[in-house]
Structure 1
Amino acid sequence: MAEELTRIGTSAPRRVLGVSAMTALGAMLLYVAFAEPPANWLWQVFLVALGLIALWFSARMWEATGHELILTDEALTDSDGTELARLDQIAKVDRSVFAMKPSNGFIILLKEPMPRAWRPGLWWRMGRRIAVGGVTSGAATKPMADIIAVKVADPDV
């Protein structure tokens, strides 16, 4: 079995705050759609659809942020067993200020594209990019990004 190097998850306050913000957005959109309906019914349908999407998103976020990311000397995986990427598939780690990355997170660039996957508030993968972060703390994600960068630069470390 591979040795665990580090793991990141979400703290309860960050998790509750992130999910509460999405739930509040969904509730406000539905309130506006029914309490002050727009003159055109298409706008009302649009507001209801957005409100329901926000509520669905908040439920997905609650489920996803209950997971943790685990970095071993072989791969980065989700605590449910989903493999984000093997270390030998990683080309680069980007934590720069101007990188399109989640809050308190980092971007992993892969050598080859992988199937899309998404855990709102924790990570997403699209093509050759994996973004880690969202409701995670920067104090947890920074060491993970540094370890991955060192492992990619010198796999024998």
Structure 2
Amino acid sequence: MAGMRIELRAAQARRAMAVGVLYGFGGVAVYTALADVPGLLWSVALLALGLGGMAAGEMLRRATRRALCLDETGLVDSAGRVLARWDDIVGIERSSFSLRPSNGFTLRLARPGARAWQPGMWWRLGHRLGVGGVTPARETRAMAEAIELRLADRAAPIP
């Protein structure tokens, strides 16, 4: 697997839909809060919910501009942030019933990392790193299969 490099970017249609839904939800909630809502508490709650939805949409928009790269180092984002080195990856989960992002997979890591979240692309919580969300299924599956092959090669006994 020398010279391996697989790049994973957000699917533009899924990205646009996800960002649009979050901005739309936030806009409707803010509009409702500013309309004639009975009670100040409801207005404040709806305003906070709407602003939170729009903030989540902006986080998603920014996060999905980046790409994830699988290379000889491990899994790295296009800004140079190392998400998982090959030595830290102990397993991968792709089954239907595993805790994983949509169209994605979860890596089990040897060492826990700091909690982090790039909406629509990846998240890390303890010993788990989830990859996927608004990524294309075919490219995400190819990356997961490349990781599985590398892990299988590492586990195979040398004759």
TM-score normalised by the chain length of structure 1: 0.91
Query: Is residue 76 of structure 2 the alignment partner of residue 68 of structure 1?
Result: no
CA distance in 2: counterparts of 1:7 and 1:143, whole angstroms: 10
Secondary structure of 1:154 counterpart = helix
CA distance in 2: counterparts of 1:103 and 1:138, whole angstroms: 9
Task: Within 5 Å, give how 1:100-111 maps onto structure 2.
Answer: 100-111=99-110
Q: Report the CA distance between 1:12 and its aligned residue.
A: 2.1
In structure 2, stretches of 5+ residues that fail to align are none
| 1:15-60 CA-partner distances (Å, limit 9, x unpaired) | 11111011011111112212241x3322221211111111111111
Counterpart for residue 95 of structure 1: 94
Structure 1 residues 99 and 33 mapped into 2: Cα distance closer, same or farther (>3 Å)? same
1:133 partner amino acid: G
Task: Within 5 Å, give how 1:74-93 maps onto structure 2.
Answer: 74-93=73-92
Counterpart for residue 31 of structure 1: 31
CA distance in 1: counterparts of 2:83 and 2:155, whole angstroms: 21
1:21 partner amino acid: V
Q: Report the CA distance between 1:66 and its aligned residue.
A: 0.7
Compute the RMSD of aligned alpha carbons: 1.7
Q: Report the CA distance between 1:73 and its aligned residue.
A: 2.2
CA distance in 1: counterparts of 2:3 and 2:49, whole angstroms: 43
Q: Report the CA distance between 1:156 and its aligned residue.
A: 8.4
2:59 partner amino acid: R
Q: Percent of aligned pairs with the same residue?
A: 39
Q: Report the CA distance between 1:152 and its aligned residue.
A: 1.8
Task: Within 5 Å, give how 1:135-150 maps onto structure 2.
Answer: 135-150=134-149
Query: Is residue 28 of structure 2 the alignment partner of residue 22 of structure 1?
Result: no
